[in-house]
Amino acid sequence: DAGVTQSPTHLIKTRGQQVTLRCSPKSGHDTVSWYQQALGQGPQFIFQYYEEEERQRGNFPDRFSGHQFPNYSSELNVNALLLGDSALYLCASSPGRRGKETQYFGPGTRLLVL
């Protein structure tokens, strides 16, 4: 079992650019959540996907969007990048509609915006 995988591991972009981050959930998991972890902070919930639909969203602007594919993998897109978007982006997966209390996290993608 490969667990949750994310790509790329690191990324450098400039302000105004767009970025796409990718996540493959743990085998058997159909729910994917995305988090942003700024330096010195805890993970902040961005949104969650289930059955290819966004079903829950945190306090992030519309520049942050996502997608879930039929194989449950997911993408996070960020448009018009700002310096403040520099962070570690974490993907987490869990099974089931309601979900068990346990989420499994990937290693994250570290994004640097210059």
Instruction: Say whether residue 104 binds another protein (CB under 8 A).
Output: yes
Instruction: Say whether residue 95 binds another protein (CB under 8 A).
Output: no
Which two three-digit tokens encode residue 20? 């796409």
Helix (H, G, I), strand (E, B) or coil at 83: helix
Pick the stretch among 11-19, 61-69, 71-79, 97-105 that binds another protein (CB under 8 A): 97-105
Burial class (CB in 10 A: 0-12, 13-18, 19+), 67: middle
Tell me which DSSP letter residue 85 carries.
G
Tell me which DSSP letter residue 41 carries.
S
The minimum distance between CB 108 and another protein, in angstroms, equals 5
Which two three-digit tokens encode residue 60? 């992030």
Q: Using CA atoms, how far apart are residues 105 and 13, in angstroms rounded to an integer?
A: 24
Q: Using CA atoms, how far apart are residues 83 and 79, in angstroms rounded to an integer?
A: 12
Residue whose CB is less far from another protein, 78 or 108: 108
Pick the stretch among 12-20, 61-69, 74-82, 91-99 that binds another protein (CB under 8 A): 91-99
Give, as ranges, the residues between 31 and 60 that touch another protein (CB under 8 A). 33, 35, 40-45, 48, 50, 55-56, 58
Chain residues that interact with another protein, rule: CB under 8 A: 4, 33, 35, 40-45, 48, 50, 55-56, 58, 90, 92, 98-99, 101-108
